[in-house]
Chain A
Amino acid sequence: MRPAAPGGARPAALELNIRGVSKGYPNGVQALKDVTLTIPAGMYGLLGPNGAGKSTLMRILATLQEADKGTVRLGDIDVLNRKDEVRKTLGYLPQEFGVYPRVSAEEMLDHFALLKGIGERRARREVVEALLRQVNLWDVRRQKLGGYSGGMRQRFGVAVALLGDPKLVIVDEPTAGLDPAERVRFLNLLSELGENSVVLLSTHIVQDVSELCTRMAIIDRGEILLEAEPLGAIEEVRGRIWRSVIEKSALAELEREHAVISTRLLAGRTVVHVYGDAAPGPGFEPAEPDLEDVYFSTMAGHVGRRRGQPEPVVAV
């Protein structure tokens, strides 16, 4: 185990330590393989494709699933065995959730506030009001949740997750299915969180992480491939990403010869990103790397723990 964070002037910033967590399902799928992560206070992004094991990990952290092996500690709390303690300080926004359609947002949030242990009615009312204002639902608080749009529901979910000053906030794929405007609004809201709490955000959308998170991990098929700070990771690949615009018919040949990490269509032609320590050849120009390049390089095995076992190209 890692020693506690040095310093000590500030109240010990909380840290979530995940050590060797594995999880298999009865159908043989190994969802998590020996996952070890250290997640400091602040916004942390867990990036990975669908089925990578993100949600499994999130649910284990949110006390909703059991790990086969490993330990998880939130500060002093043994997350896997002291679920009731974790829940007192947990804010969880599941990947997918519904509402009671015939209940108003205010009523519902008040109910959740009580479940979170805010017993006193007046305090509860104040908290509910503040949260509804914060997530911008105050004006529609009297309306039934059944009539809310997807984004509004998602913001309502954030309000629920924020009840009771959680020290551990787990947000599982929150932006999937939101329209661009809603997504912006939602990320703005999330960015308010996580000064003193551990906020773990899982997503398969690279921008979510690049826009929000100070640290991140890339996970695929149950394994952590990369643990890094987004900006640092981008710097790591700077000068190794090359770009070329080709005809679609030429793609197959290019893939045989070069380490193509991503392809994408642009006005009918194909934009190819290739990973290489040196310029792959004519027709290629150095590309300004972004987190997406880091992600695909990692997935393709050029960066991170999978290095040396390159993967086939991923098309977006």
Chain B
Amino acid sequence: MKLRGIFRFEIAYQLRRPWPWFSVAVLAVFAFGVTRVGLVPVTLSQDFILNSPFIVTTVSVLGCQVWLLVAPAIAGEAAARDVHTGMYPLTCTSPVGKAEYLGGRFLAAFVLNALILLGVQAGSLLAVYAPGVNPEIIGPFRPVAYLAAYGLVALPNALIATTVQFGAALRTGRPMASYVGSFGLFFLSYPVTLFLYASRMARPQIALLSDPIGVFAIMNEMMSNWTMVEKNVRTFTLEGPMLWNRLLWIGISLATLGFLYARFRFAHRTANDLPGRLLRRFSGAAPDDTAVRAPAAVSVPHAPRSFGFATNLRQMLAIARSSFRMVAKSPAGLFLLAVFPTLLVLVMTIELQQWGVPLLPRTVELITRHLTAPITDPLNYWVMVPLLIIYLVGELVWRERDARLGENVDAMPVPEWVLLLGKYLGLGFVLAAAMATLTAAGMLTQALRGYHDFEIARYLQLLFGFQLPEYLLFAMLAFAIQVVVNHRYLGQLVALIAYLLVVLSGLLGIHHHLLVYAASPAWSFTEMRGFGGSVGPWLWFKLYWAAWALLLAVAARLLWMRGRESGFGTRLRIARLRLDRSTAGIAAATAALVLALGGFVFYNTNVLNEYVTDDELVRRRAEYERRYGKYEGIPQPQRTATNLHVEIHPDRGAATIRGSYRLVNRSDVPIDSVHLEPAFYVETRVTFDRPARRVAADDELGHHIYALDEPLRPGDSLTLGFDVRFEPRGFRNSGLRSNGAGQAILQNGTYLTGSALPVIGYQPMRELWSAEDRRRHGLPRQVTLPPPGDIDPNVAAGAPATFEAVIGTDAGQVAVAPGELRRAWSEGGRRYFHYASDVPIGGMPVFFSADYAVHRERWKGVDVQVFVHPGHGKHLERLLRGVRASLEYYSAQFGPYPYPFLQVVEQPGNFFGMGVDGSGVITGGEGFFLLDPEGDGFDAIFEVVGHEMGHQWWGTQLKPAFAEGGGVISEGLAWYSAMQLVKNTKDREALRRFMRFMREPNPWPPMRTGLPLLRAMDPWASYRKGPYAMHALSEYVGEARVNGALRTLVEKKESSLATTIDLYRELQAVTPDSLRPLLHDLFEVNTFWTFDTKKATAARTGAGTWRVTLEVEARKVVADSAGKETEVPMNEWVEIGIFAAAGPGEILGRPLYVRKHRIRSGRQTITVTLPHRPARGGIDPYNLLDWEEGDNIEPIEVEGSG
């Protein structure tokens, strides 16, 4: 049979070529590496089993991604080799049917790809069973895990992607077009799906459908919806959205195959692509030639020629222009210069919102968040640009040879450097044009949003000054590789591998930017901070790499391929001929530059500053625990008062803190030694107010021990004085601002945390928590978090202390420290502020210094201070509304606000949300102030402030123990408070809008299978289910009772840590017996209710009233942590609600009837008679028990009336 013959020939042909073998090897190595060392373990926060179905599946998914990039050549070859090599006239005229030809070729490609993908499974098996793995993390061998991953992930992907690659190559007649198809799939699968998913343009289930290879869909499904237990044991199967996704795409690929088959012709191929058609249109028919005749005697004028530098420059520019034109007109150029920016405009318009609130399209925000990405650390779709560079460099270097013009050009009197730099410059023009289109895209987005403060200079500065050089550096590497390798696809592959090495260098344990091509600490820019000192380190590293790029350019010039001699030995010989004096001089000078710049950088990163690798940090933490862990929990004096004098010098980036702690022995035994841990990266000197000797000083691990000559008796106190200095010296490998508090002192926008201050006692928080790290360093396995019942209910909370600080800064700035502002004055050209809190406060103190606009008001004796960047004043109104309403309502409900001050500070830096930095201090990142303060709709600023204010009770006053369910105490109650605040200060309609925002799957998709609330660990339970349950309880039991229980809890646990058990006890105390089962369902087990209003009708009665009949269905299930759901019978009170027609802007109209009915499992009918005409009605209208918004409420059909 011919089909079999074609199939076998194709398989045999391709197997003789290196590409399939190479692909298998790449995939196997990738899977091995990813499983063994890399990505997967770190994606899991806790313990994992190396061969769990989750990891096997994840590796398969990631492997498919790599395969997409490596293997398109297989399908491309099979589809288009005949046309590409010019063999097709022979093939076309042979007596082979279309079906046999296409079928054989396609099947061969598919089978080859399926075989290649086996490399992933081989690699992941090898990673588990090859020596060198800790046997503890190997679970039982589950063949079905590998079969499922291969059969359900890899095989369908092989079919889908092979179809697309095959189709692209077949239609264009170019094997490499298959790469374009592959990239398309990749683009659709990750960035596009992500946007659809995150942007809420489509429902999540619909969005997931758009992912053709399941990268996002599968990963998202498993990552976020599976519990830890499930991740280790659950077998991957196709269900729900994933099943539909696979079916849809398999269907699409089959349809595509049908289409390809139908459109395929064995015929002479004319240039039938779009450019070809255009070409014919614009150039008319093929030119007519003139008749045979002797050439006219024309004398060619003698033209002056020159071969000097000026001519060379002119030639270089001509080549650059010609290269630019070629790229700009090619599909890849079109993509980079037109499609990509257009997509970005789309992306930006979608993404310029947070929590349903539009964001202000400020220029800096657009550029830093959307229009730039460091090449060494590209976020999602930005990987496109380096990939395109790799591709385009191949096209440019091979341009003449592709056009079979290579020999003509090579014989021209043009130096190699002109050819090389001309092409490089051409690509540079393309990249510069890309920067220009990105600028246009940014400004277009702004204009579309009605924002006109374009700041063109900022665009030019950041895109051309910072982004473009990164691409140019990388382009030179790609050129050098392409020249040296002298095989286009191999060269592109080597460049791709080089790029992956650059990107993944961190995973490979290479962290120093001197060792990773084009790497540097990132620059940053924010409105408050400007560059914040990030330019210097960035620039020095980039200069160093620019010198390397120059050296690469010299190498590429010497090895530039000219003529036919491709043997490497011959090329080296030719290179020696080319190495004339000037070239050698340039090379030597460049090498000297590399050494000088590298030396300077090294001096800064490793001599002026200590260079500590991540591994070393991990080792030190392990060592810390081993050596000092024995001091955990020993009696130590507790801080009761902090007194500081802080001097900030923004222009020098320096700070000094002089201060003292009042330390009291609260234990029952005398304390003879004080364990003191000074902060890292600062200079700390301490003094005691009594004789004390330093008996141990471990600066590397940061633990000092002072023996007191006279032990501190119980109840006695001492004063510890300290002097902390920070002065920056040079820069670090990580730039200026990390590792250590002192680094954060900037010209404008200093954010200095109390971590610069010494602390007392062994700090368990510094221990290693990752199970893998602990294993590697021989530390005993640690229970992740104890169940709440295991916590000693009397463990004292980290005691709050009174606080007083004088903080000084430059004359132009405002300095902030916790406390009420007692005094502000100027002295010696500097400004000083005196903050104090006589009420003990907890948390770590934070200090700010910036050119702030200050708002100050009083609320019942509380000093309310708001510090924002000038120009962010419009946010004040909503912000303060939230603050005032929270103070009012929470004080009334949960107990008085205890602190004499409340500060809301804009925190410099790109942080988006809001947070609580200790008692009375709320910070909002600069990003938070992008929220449009003027829009209507969901009032995110108010709600988020309400949540953070809630933390002033939950988390700050009531401190959760470090145990399971801790998140429910702090986050759960804080969101519950915000819900109550919205319901009571606004209305139920606002609460409904708020709950709709809470229901968004981003950032926390619902997780039905976690632990019950009392032991909840996952964020959805803490941030969402907790507040829902509390809300339901407040509606069933009564708001006053529930809030009263919380108030009691705060009072009872004033000086000890709280667990969910404590919370539960108080809730039980206020819950009547009839509702105890509900309380149990909400907290002790994982219960989910589902309600559905099937039919809602109304009829007018004789008495002029309306009789409403609702047909409702109810279901209740209990899920265990392995994901198993058990239906349980239901018989409980559920609200039935009927509403009048909704007014404008409302979701539901005025409630006509809301009352609880006894509801059983299954379908039932409820009849209610009302005096008014109803519009909508249903079961559980306020989503007290059924937390998914959906079919609870339906429009009511009115019978027998018009």
Contacts and interface: CB of A to CB of B under 8 A. Distances in A.
B302 A136 contact: no
A93 to B, nearest CB: 8
Main secondary structure of the interface of B (DSSP, over half): loop
Interface in A127-168: 127, 130-131, 133-136, 139-140, 143-144, 146-149, 151-152, 157, 160, 162, 164-165
A140 B305 CA distance: 27
A177 interface: no
Interface string B294-309: 1110111111111100
Nearest to B577: A81
Interface stretch (B410-418, B965-973, B1008-1016): B410-418
9 contacts: A62-B407, A96-B404, A102-B329, A118-B304, A134-B300, A146-B279, A151-B289, A157-B408, A185-B292
B563 interface: yes
Interface string A101-120: 11000000001111111111
Given A66-B574, A119-B310, A133 B315 contact: no
Nearest to B302: A165
A97 B407 contact: yes
B306 A135 contact: no
A140 B413 CA distance: 27
Nearest to A152: B289
B288 A140 contact: yes
A14 to B, nearest CB: 17
A66 B407 contact: no
Contact of A126 (B301, B404, B410): B301
B262 interface: no
A94 B306 contact: no
Given A59-B563, A113-B303, A119-B306, 7 more contacts: A63-B563, A111-B318, A117-B305, A127-B300, A147-B283, A147-B287, A160-B408
Given A59-B563, A66-B570, A117 B413 contact: yes
Nearest to B571: A66
Contacts of A147: 279, 283, 285-287
Contacts of A114: 311, 314-315, 318
Interface residues of A, number: 64
B305 A164 contact: yes
B403 A144 contact: no
B314 A84 contact: no
A127 B570 CA distance: 37
A246 interface: no
B134 interface: no
Contacts of B285: 147
A88 interface: yes
Interface string A169-208: 0000000000001001100110010000000000000000
Given A64-B562, A126-B301, A133 B296 contact: yes
A202 to B, nearest CB: 14
B573 interface: yes
B409 A98 contact: no
Interface in A202-217: none
Contact of B407 (A92, A100, A162, A164): A92
A99 interface: yes
A63 B405 contact: no
Contacts of B284: 143
A289 B305 CA distance: 47
Given A90-B411, A115-B412, A124 B275 contact: no
Given A134-B298, A189-B295, A102 B307 contact: no
A101 B289 CA distance: 17
A130 B300 contact: yes
Nearest to B284: A143
A53 B629 CA distance: 82
B322 interface: yes
A26 B569 CA distance: 12
**Which of B318, B405, B412 gathers the greatest number of chain A CB atoms within 10 Å?**
B412
Given A59-B407, A116-B412, A102 B300 contact: no
A123 interface: yes
List of 10 A-B pairs having minimum Cβ-Cβ separation, nearest first: A64-B563, A98-B404, A117-B305, A87-B413, A140-B287, A92-B411, A88-B413, A123-B303, A94-B407, A115-B412
A164 B315 CA distance: 15
Given A64-B407, A65-B564, A87-B411, A148 B298 contact: no
Given A102-B329, A131-B300, A134-B300, A64 B403 contact: no
Given A63-B411, A116-B412, A184-B292, A98 B405 contact: yes
B94 interface: no
A192 B326 CA distance: 35
Contacts of B271: 146
A84 B299 contact: no
A62 B406 CA distance: 13
B1073 interface: no
B304 A120 contact: yes
Contacts of B300: 127, 130-131, 134, 162, 165
A172 B423 CA distance: 28
A88 B413 CA distance: 5
Interface string A240-271: 00000000000000000000000000000000
A62 B564 CA distance: 11
A83 B410 CA distance: 11
Contacts of A126: 301, 303
A139 B290 contact: yes
B292 A112 contact: no
B563 A130 contact: no
Nearest to B419: A115
Contacts of A66: 565, 570, 573-574
B419 to A, nearest CB: 9
A97 B412 CA distance: 14
A164 B303 CA distance: 7
Contact of A115 (B293, B413, B562, B574): B413
B283 A26 contact: no
B303 A127 contact: yes
Contacts of B288: 140
A134 B303 contact: no
A87 B412 contact: yes
Interface string A60-79: 00111110000000000000
B143 interface: no
Interface string B407-441: 11111111100000000000000000000000000
Nearest to A121: B314
A218 B728 CA distance: 80
B405 A99 contact: yes
A102 B917 CA distance: 64
Contacts of B573: 66
A172 to B, nearest CB: 9
A146 B405 CA distance: 13
B287 A148 contact: yes
Nearest to A124: B303
A53 to B, nearest CB: 14
Contacts of B290: 136, 139
Nearest to A147: B286
Nearest to A149: B289
A121 B220 CA distance: 61
Given A63-B411, A81-B577, A126-B303, A134 B292 contact: no
A66 to B, nearest CB: 5
Contacts of B305: 88, 116-119, 164
B321 to A, nearest CB: 9
Nearest to A189: B295
B450 interface: no
Contacts of B412: 87, 112, 115-116
A100 B403 contact: yes
Nearest to B415: A84
**Which of B286, B293, B296 gathers the greatest number of chain A CB atoms within 10 Å?**
B286
A253 to B, nearest CB: 39
A94 to B, nearest CB: 4
B286 to A, nearest CB: 4
B828 interface: no
